[in-house]
């Protein structure tokens, strides 16, 4: 939980000897909750109890001591419970799971581990900050962001941040209809038409921004910014001075670069972020990886790419070894202008990429299968790799996601920058 207030409490009743595919069910449930970024879970071991079968389980009875009842208690935001619970139910399969409303009176996590705090936010932040005023037209905001490596801009009034305009704000409230990073895939006339349409809507930054943005002071220890971003799932924070004036922006990428500085040798920057070199990548990876094969049709590739927030799918062979990567930007670049509007609509609204003719997608694209449009430039690391090694690999290859493989090279998981930062600064 991020803050006190209304929440949902889930209780999952298990037995100590319950198993799924050779693994203890308790361990499988905890791994699922952690992979889905649940706020946390606690396991309670019962002294005695009985279930529908009427069999008494008690710690004083040696012959059944290994089958004592267990309760996994999980408290989280209502939207996160709604998102994760169906997967928990499918995993558990039988027994009892309850959900009830609860009130969180205190939500103060333990401090980030192993942080000395000598590195300050101002030491790693970007000082060349683009900002706009509340009255700046939305089409001007888009034009400014198109030439920048980042996808958000603070809105300032008298030098103080009063809001922030993000990619999501521009799509949801700004009428853009396409993420800023995909605009580059549009042909000249298409791009001009999009900007002209925005200009005609006459919206301003104040109308579409997220107000009261989370900020951090320049003299704050770097771990403060790291934990804020990890817990609140933010990509960047406006940085202010003691008077509240905007002086920079610190991003998730800035923090990962600091953690990776000087690797593989240990440096103060890595230690400042609490980098635990004995933590394997498997602890933070997610196993719900969208995959396709080299002969998968483009229409199916679109479905795989839009199936998760990552907007990417790995291409694997018959042995599930990774051979390529397909992103939404690459798909848009590969289809012709005739098909681009429907392709963009499918990607942005996460709808099936349908067309009246079965072969139309292939006929309007430079390539017909995943193998034709994939890139072989992707980052990978074994599940036994340390977080530091994974960060270094992702930064070296300039990738936003990393394939996690088993000893045989088969794909077993995926991590992105948010997963890595989460693993660095939050307790296991």
What local confidence, expressed as pLDDT, does residue 256 receive? 83
Fold of 5-104: Alpha-Beta Plaits (3.30.70)
Of residues 416 and 111, more confidence is placed in: 416
Across 137-156, average pLDDT: 86
Give the chain's count of helices (H) and strands (E). 16, 20
Percent of the chain having pLDDT more than 70?
76
Q: What is the per-residue pLDDT across 229-273, written as a single tens digit (0 to 9) for each? A: 888 889 999 999 999 999 999 998 888 887 766 333 333 344 444
What local confidence, expressed as pLDDT, does residue 291 receive? 94
Beta bridge partners of 50: 56
**Residues 47/50/55/59 CA torsion (nearest 10 deg):** 0
Of residues 169 and 364, more confidence is placed in: 169
CATH superfamily of 281-425: CBS-domain (3.10.580.10)
Across 127-135, average pLDDT: 90
Across 124-142, average pLDDT: 90
Across 344-354, average pLDDT: 61
Q: What is the per-residue pLDDT across 266-300, written as a single tens digit (0 to 9) for each? A: 333 444 444 444 478 888 898 889 999 999 988 78
SS3 call for 166: strand
Is the pTM value of this prediction over 0.75? no
Q: What is the DSSP string of 236-303?
A: EEEEE-TTS-EEEEEEHHHHHHHHHTTTTS--HHHHHTT--TT-BGGGT-BS---EEETT-BHHHHHH
Across 339-349, average pLDDT: 64
pLDDT band at 351 (very low <50, low <70, confident <90, very high): low
Q: Is it the case that residue 426 has pLDDT exceeding 70?
A: no
Beta bridge partners of 403: 380, 414
What local confidence, expressed as pLDDT, does residue 265 receive? 35
Give CATH 3.30.70.120 domain extents, the chain.
5-104
What local confidence, expressed as pLDDT, does residue 325 receive? 93
Give CATH 3.10.580.10 domain extents, the chain.
121-272, 281-425
What local confidence, expressed as pLDDT, does residue 357 receive? 46
Of residues 187 and 361, more confidence is placed in: 187
Q: Report yes or no: 347 and 305 within 8 Å, Cβ to Cβ.
A: yes
Assign domain 121-272 to its CATH architecture: Roll (3.10)
Point out the least confidently predicted range of 40-49, 154-163, 257-266. 257-266
């Amino acid at each position: 939980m991020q803050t006190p207030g209304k929440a949902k409490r889930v209780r999952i009743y298990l037995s100590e000897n319950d198993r799924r595919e050779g693994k203890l069910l308790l361990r499988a449930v905890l791994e699922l909750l952690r992979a889905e970024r649940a706020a946390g879970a606690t396991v309670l071991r019962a002294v005695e109890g009985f279930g529908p079968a009427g069999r008494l389980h008690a710690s004083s009875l040696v012959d059944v001591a290994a089958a004592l009842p267990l309760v996994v208690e999980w408290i989280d935001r209502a939207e996160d419970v709604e998102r994760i619970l169906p997967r928990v139910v499918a995993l558990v399969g039988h027994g009892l799971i309850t959900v009830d409303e609860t009130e969180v009176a205190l939500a103060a996590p333990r401090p980030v581990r192993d942080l000395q705090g000598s590195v300050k936010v101002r030491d790693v932040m970007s000082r060349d900050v683009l900002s706009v005023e509340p009255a700046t037209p939305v089409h001007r905001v888009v034009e400014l962001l198109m030439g920048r490596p980042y996808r958000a801009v603070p809105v300032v009034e008298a030098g103080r941040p009063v809001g922030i305009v993000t990619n999501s704000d521009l799509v949801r409230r700004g009428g853009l209809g396409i993420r800023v990073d995909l605009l580059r895939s549009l042909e000249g006339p298409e791009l001009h038409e999009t900007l002209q349409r925005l200009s005609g809507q006459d919206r301003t930054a104040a109308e579409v921004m997220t107000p009261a943005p989370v900020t951090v002071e320049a003299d704050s220890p770097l771990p403060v910014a790291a934990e804020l971003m990890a817990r609140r799932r933010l990509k960047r924070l406006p940085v202010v001075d003691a008077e509240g004036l905007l002086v920079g922006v610190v991003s998730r990428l800035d923090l990962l670069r600091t953690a990776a500085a000087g690797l593989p040798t240990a440096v103060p920057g890595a230690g400042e972020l609490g980098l635990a070199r004995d933590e394997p990548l498997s602890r933070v990876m997610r196993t719900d990886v969208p995959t396709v094969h080299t002969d998968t049709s483009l229409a199916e590739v679109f479905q795989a790419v839009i199936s998760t927030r990552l907007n990417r799918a790995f291409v694997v062979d018959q042995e599930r070894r990774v051979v390529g990567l397909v992103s939404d930007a690459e798909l848009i670049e590969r289809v012709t202008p005739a098909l681009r509007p429907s392709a963009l609509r499918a990607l942005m609204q996460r709808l099936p990429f349908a067309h009246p003719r079965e072969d139309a997608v292939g006929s309007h694209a430079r390539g017909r299968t995943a193998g034709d449009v994939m890139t072989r430039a992707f980052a990978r690391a074994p599940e036994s790799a340390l977080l530091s090694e994974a960060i270094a690999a992702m930064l070296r290859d300039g990738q936003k996601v990393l394939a996690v493989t088993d000893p045989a090279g088969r794909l077993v998981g995926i991590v992105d920058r948010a997963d890595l930062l989460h693993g660095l600064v939050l307790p296991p």
